[in-house]
Amino acid sequence: MNAQALELTDNAANKVRQLRDSEGNQDLMLRVYVTGGGCSGFSYGFNFAESQNEDDAEFVNGDVKMLVDSLSYQYLVGSVVDYVEGLDGSRFIVQNPNATTTCGCGSSFSI
């Protein structure tokens, strides 16, 4: 894996496939982004996109694409995007080597 790349795990790619199938739209791509706010300074966000923007970086796992905009990319370099199911619910998570602190919810971080 390129040190600058992001990785979409098989679990996350499988969940995207399930969601795509349930929506009946094979063009859906997972968009991962960073916004200001949250208990540690920045928060991760996830949504689905049908089209790719010019400044998006693209990462692929099989037939699933993950998009990251250029502003968010600098905070996510080297991260792994996974999907976990546990007692506290099911969600996409980011394992970010750049984060110096994270909050208990796992969706907020600082650098």
- Which parts are annotated binding residues for iron-sulfur cluster? 39, 103, 105
Edge-to-edge strand ranges of the sheet holding 42-49: 57-61, 64-68, 29-36, 42-49, 108-110, 101-102
Q: 84: which strand partners?
A: 91
Question: CA–CA separation, 76 vs 102, rounded Å?
Answer: 14
- Binding positions: 39, 103, 105
